[in-house]
């Protein structure tokens, strides 16, 4: 207990403060133990020690905690990851409670955020949802007289549409957005030259949401169902950081005081491929003729290391593990330069790093063989609470068929197509087990898959299935049906 008390006193004397959070989660295909899910918190404080004190009373040796990057005396970003097998599908609307924000101009004192984690089975992909993925450096800065656009690099493992906005009540305690920074739904933040009276740090509290682009059905572990309209976000994750408006620079021309990236630095949005357990090295080069380029600051997946081989020459190295296979990992960086006591940052630049592919999967269980009713997802985080949620029943009397994957061609067993009285109807859900379709055609699966899919869809509608049925013709000739 004594070391924790001493640590608390040291942090209090140094005026420790919160610099933001980036949260994400991803869910893999079904495995014998359940759906593999990984959560990732990147939380930033004014020191690395403060994160340990906040999460685990100063001793995080038994947890998966990884310091990512820090700028001594200013901020430290640390990641906490947890990988579990999800065996009961549900929804978590989880509050995030950290501590006091660092001093800021928009008057936000207490930090808070809300994470909507959708872990019910999606009818369109036949597994739980994965959240949008992105990252950010804890402190971005720009001179007050210079234009700056900050483009977040976002992705979604499920292919959903990702949109950004500022947080609103009840997603934060004080939700005043920074007056000097605007955000677009496409996740671009814009700063225009302003007066010296606006200089200083601002707390940025954003929310990333993913939208499916179609109405889908969500099924929980008790087989209760809910229709999720295409215009409703399926999950919500927080992205918070500090944006600092510095005193005016002598020049806003990139390459003079503000560092300018040079080749072979990758461009923003570049895709870099590697293999699991194979190191990838990214060279970053920058120049500032009127200032000294001193450091590279980054945020990305756990395990990234940085090095320097002289002024303006840096590298980032990362070796992905098996759990990183198939995911677009976002790696972002800036270069800082110093001149006469002033600090200048380059543009904010990000790349995707993709490693190999996901592990071999097995078919998920049907409703007749449910998973064990245990749920260990996100249960050991002290600063969080997990309120109970009540599943919303599917709002019709006839339960549509759930997703299944079947060989093609074969025979058909179709569900009933009429509503039965409540006293005599059998409990759903019903399933399409096979297709009563035999096609003899010269069409090719490789070049005419859309035509073949439409033919099968028309036949299924004639057999009584709902018109909003969607089909996917997979490359091996298997039809995937979703209603």
Measured in degrees and rounded to the nearest 5, phi and psi for residue 452 equal -65, -40
**Residue 73: band (very low, low, confident or very high) from pLDDT cuts 50, 70, 90:** confident
Angle at CA of residue 352, ends 349 and 356, nearest 5°: 160
- Within 10 angstroms of residue 454's Cβ, the number of other Cβ atoms is 12
Contacts of 476 (CB under 8 A, 6+ apart): none
Q: Choose between 280 and 380: higher pLDDT.
A: 280
Most confident of 92-101, 276-285, 422-431, 474-483: 276-285
**Residue 387: band (very low, low, confident or very high) from pLDDT cuts 50, 70, 90:** very low
Rounded to an integer, the average pLDDT of 461-476 is 60
The pLDDT tens digits for 341-377 are 999 999 999 999 998 764 444 556 544 334 433 333 3
DSSP tag of 10: H
DSSP tag of 76: E
Closest CA to 102 of 229, 221, 17: 17
- Within 10 angstroms of residue 419's Cβ, the number of other Cβ atoms is 10
**Residue 468: band (very low, low, confident or very high) from pLDDT cuts 50, 70, 90:** low
8 Å CB contact between 1 and 55: no
Rounded to an integer, the average pLDDT of 153-165 is 97
**Residue 425: band (very low, low, confident or very high) from pLDDT cuts 50, 70, 90:** very low
pLDDT of residue 146: 98
pLDDT of residue 401: 36
8 Å CB contact between 341 and 253: no
pLDDT of residue 326: 79
Measured in degrees and rounded to the nearest 5, phi and psi for residue 219 equal -120, 130
pLDDT of residue 367: 42
pLDDT of residue 324: 81
pLDDT of residue 373: 35
The reported pTM is 0.74
């Amino acid at each position: 207990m004594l070391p924790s008390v001493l640590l608390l006193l040291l942090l209090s004397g140094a005026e420790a403060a919160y610099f933001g959070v980036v949260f994400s989660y991803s869910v893999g295909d079904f495995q014998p133990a359940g759906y593999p899910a990984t959560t990732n918190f990147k939380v930033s404080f004014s020191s690395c020690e403060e994160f340990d004190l906040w999460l685990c009373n100063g001793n995080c040796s038994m947890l998966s905690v990884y310091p990512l990057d820090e700028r001594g005396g200013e901020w430290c970003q640390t990641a906490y990851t947890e990988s579990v097998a999800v065996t009961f599908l549900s929804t978590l609307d989880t509050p995030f409670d950290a501590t006091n924000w660092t001093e800021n101009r928009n008057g936000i004192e207490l930090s808070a955020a809300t994470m909507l984690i959708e872990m019910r089975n999606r009818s369109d992909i036949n597994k739980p949802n994965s959240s949008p993925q992105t990252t950010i450096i804890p402190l971005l800065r720009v001179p007050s007289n210079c234009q700056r656009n900050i483009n977040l690099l976002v992705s979604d493992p499920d292919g959903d549409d990702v949109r950004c906005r500022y947080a609103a009540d009840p997603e934060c305690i004080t939700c005043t957005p920074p007056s000097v920074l605007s955000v677009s739904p496409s996740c671009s933040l814009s700063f225009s030259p302003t007066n010296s009276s606006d200089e200083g740090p601002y707390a940025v509290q954003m929310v990333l949401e993913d939208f499916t682009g179609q109405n889908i059905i969500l099924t929980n572990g008790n087989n209760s169902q809910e229709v999720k309209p295409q215009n409703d976000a399926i999950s919500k994750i927080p992205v918070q950081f500090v944006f600092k408006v510095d005193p005016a620079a002598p020049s806003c021309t990139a390459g003079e005081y503000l560092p300018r990236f040079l080749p072979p630095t990758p461009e923003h949005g570049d895709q870099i491929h590697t293999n699991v357990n194979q190191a990838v090295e990214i060279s970053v080069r920058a120049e500032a003729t009127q200032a000294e380029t001193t450091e590279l600051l980054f945020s990305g997946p756990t395990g990234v290391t940085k090095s320097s081989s002289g002024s303006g020459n840096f590298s980032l190295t990362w070796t992905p593990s098996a759990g990183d296979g198939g995911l677009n990992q976002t790696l972002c960086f800036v270069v800082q330069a110093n001149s006469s006591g002033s600090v200048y940052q380059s543009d904010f630049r990000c790349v995707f790093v993709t490693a190999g592919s996901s592990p071999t999967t097995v078919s998920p269980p049907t409703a007749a063989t449910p998973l064990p009713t245990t749920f260990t997802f996100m249960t050991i985080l002290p600063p969080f609470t997990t309120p109970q949620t009540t599943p919303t029943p599917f709002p019709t009397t006839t339960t549509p068929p759930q997703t299944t994957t079947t060989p093609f061609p074969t025979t058909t067993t179709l569900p009933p197509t009429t509503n039965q009285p409540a006293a005599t109807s059998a409990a759903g859900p019903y399933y399409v087990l096979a297709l009563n379709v035999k096609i003899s055609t010269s069409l090719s699966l490789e070049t005419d898959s859309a035509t073949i899919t439409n033919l099968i869809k028309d036949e299924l509608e004639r057999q009584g299935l709902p018109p909003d049925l969607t089909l996917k013709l997979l490359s091996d000739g298997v039809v995937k049906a979703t209603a």
